[in-house]
Amino acid sequence: MKGKLEPTERQKLIDEGKNLKEGLLSLEEDLLKLIDELQQEAQRIPNMTHPDVPIGGEDFSTIRKMVGSPREFSFPVKDHLQLGKELDLFDFDAASEVSGSKFYYLKNEAVLLEMALINWTLVEVMKRGFTPLTTPEIVRSSIVEKCGFQPRGANTQVYSIEDSDQCLIGTAEIPVGGIHMDSILAASLLPLKYVAVSHCFRTEAGAAGTASRGLYRVHQFSKLEMFILCRPEESDFYHEELIRIEEDLFSSLGLHYKTLDMASGDLGAPAYRKFDIEAWMPGLARYGEISSASNCTDYQSRRLGIRFRSTEPALTNPKKGKSNLAPPQFVHTLNATACAVPRMIVCILENNQQEDGSVIIPEPLRPFMGGLESIYPKPR
């Protein structure tokens, strides 16, 4: 039997134990802080890039396809701001008083045009096997980060809600990406194809100049976003499918556009490869981006914890008591703009303007606007 400790020796050991416990708690706090800092730094590392991606800044992007040619006008061309004023379609002044700059009211036929663009696009994309969604427009900051966006910082595009861990979405890609977070999908379910309708909110930090006037760059807008989850070996195929859908939609509306293979310096953190479409906007006298299609490979799914398990047996013999199923793999995620409404309105107004001041509605949209064929100036 061990002898009893002297009271002073016993107290000394008790004090040492308390000090060790307090020191351990302090070390655990330091460890959690370091893990968080490491995670923040790791999230700044971008995705790999496809071997065919042009290297360099935006100017090094290459043209994949050119559709149509700029319309030739026999009269002075107006931009969408002037057209909107004469046709009584927008009110930026009142919105500026109510909400601030880069907000707007749509009025009269512009409201019908927005609804028509949304409903026509939704119908067309659903024909390709996409499931329609409306999404939450407020999400947790952690979801934004896991999708590859930075919700904090001087030049963030994300509106954060004060005293909370929530943000307004800048794209439906974020809430759609979170639907299957921390799950293992059956391989038989893939690909999962969604088309989501949402409002989007962006700070547009650093954006200024004539290129940002009017509806081209705003803080709030409606958008339809396509999103696909698939097997890794199929993501290149579905990337091509997404860009074909975009091109079909814009061709149906009679737009002149070019498809670009974006250079490495313009990909953003999540994208392995990105195709942008820029349409001719005669009132602005330049091409403007109207959509993009990105293959994010497993960049988002690793952060979101989205995996799939094949029903095919593993190639190696399992250990006793272990399943013979193949281990789960991370899915690949892809996203593409089906319709960014304000920029589509810019394209339609500027390209379809007539000498008498009217604007012709593209034929595919007319059934969704009660048969309306043209928008005419209002009598004063």
SS (H, E, C) the chain: CCCCCCHHHHHHHHHHHHHHHHHHHHHHHHHHHHHHHHHHHHCCCCCCCCCCCCCCCHHHCEEEEEECCCCCCCCCCCCHHHHHHHCCCEEHHHHHHHCCCCCCEECCHHHHHHHHHHHHHHHHHHCCCCEEEECCCEEEHHHHHHCCCCCCCCCCCCCECCCCCEEECCCCHHHHHHCCCCEEEEHHHCCEEEEEEEEEECCCCCCCCHHHCCCCCCCEEEEEEEEEEECHHHHHHHHHHHHHHHHHHHHHCCCCEEEEECCHHHCCCCCCEEEEEEEEECCCCEEEEEEEEEECCCHHHHHHCEEEECCCECCCCCCCCCCCECCCEECEEEEEEEEEHHHHHHHHHHHCECCCCCEECCHHHHHHHCCCCEECCCCC
Least confident of 147-156, 288-297, 318-327: 318-327
What average pLDDT does this structure show over 114-140? 98
Strand partners, 362: none
337 is in an annotated binding site: no
pLDDT at 3: 62
Q: Is 374 a catalytic residue?
A: no
Burial grade of 35 (CB within 10 A; 0-12, 13-18, 19 or more): exposed
289 is in an annotated binding site: yes
Task: Please pick, among 292, 301, 307, 350, the residue that the annotation labels catalytic.
Answer: 292
Task: Please pick, among 61, 109, 173, 202, the residue that the annotation labels catalytic.
Answer: 202
Q: Is the pLDDT of residue 249 over 80?
A: yes
Among 155, 115, 180, CA closest to 344 = 115
Between 102 and 2, whose confidence is greater? 102
- Give residue for tokens 């927005």: 114
352 is in an annotated binding site: no
Least confident of 138-147, 193-202, 245-254: 138-147
Q: What percent of the chain has pLDDT over 70?
A: 93
96 is in an annotated binding site: no
Summarize pLDDT for 68-82 with one digit per residue, the tens.
999 999 999 999 999
Task: Please pick, among 289, 309, 310, 358, the residue that the annotation labels catalytic.
Answer: 289
Q: CB of 248 within 8 A of CB of 44?
A: no
Among 279, 268, 280, CA closest to 335 = 268
202 is in an annotated binding site: yes
Q: Is 286 a catalytic residue?
A: no
239 is in an annotated binding site: no
The pLDDT mean for the chain works out to: 91
Q: Is the pLDDT of residue 95 over 90?
A: yes
250 is in an annotated binding site: no
Task: Please pick, among 61, 141, 173, 217, the residue that the annotation labels catalytic.
Answer: 217
Taking domain 45-312+326-375, whether its CATH number is 3.30.930.10 is answered by yes
What average pLDDT does this structure show over 131-149? 94
pLDDT at 153: 65
Relative to beta strand 131-134, strand 273-281 is unpaired
204 is in an annotated binding site: yes
332 is in an annotated binding site: no
Q: Is 22 a catalytic residue?
A: no
Q: Is 202 a catalytic residue?
A: yes
210 is in an annotated binding site: no
Which amino acid does the sequence have at 39? Q
Which amino acid does the sequence have at 206? G
Q: Is 307 a catalytic residue?
A: no
What average pLDDT does this structure show over 174-202? 96
* Model confidence band, residue 206 (pLDDT cutoffs 50, 70, 90): low
Q: Is the pLDDT of residue 38 over 90?
A: no
Global pTM reads 0.88
* Model confidence band, residue 300 (pLDDT cutoffs 50, 70, 90): very high
User: Rounded distance, CA 346 to CA 282, Å?
Assistant: 10
Torsion-angle region of 379 (φ positive above 0: left; ψ -120 to 50: alpha; else: beta): beta
Q: CB of 295 within 8 A of CB of 273?
A: yes
Q: Is the pLDDT of residue 1 over 60?
A: no
Which amino acid does the sequence have at 89? L
156 is in an annotated binding site: no
Please give the structure tokens belonging to residue 39. Answer: 């995670």
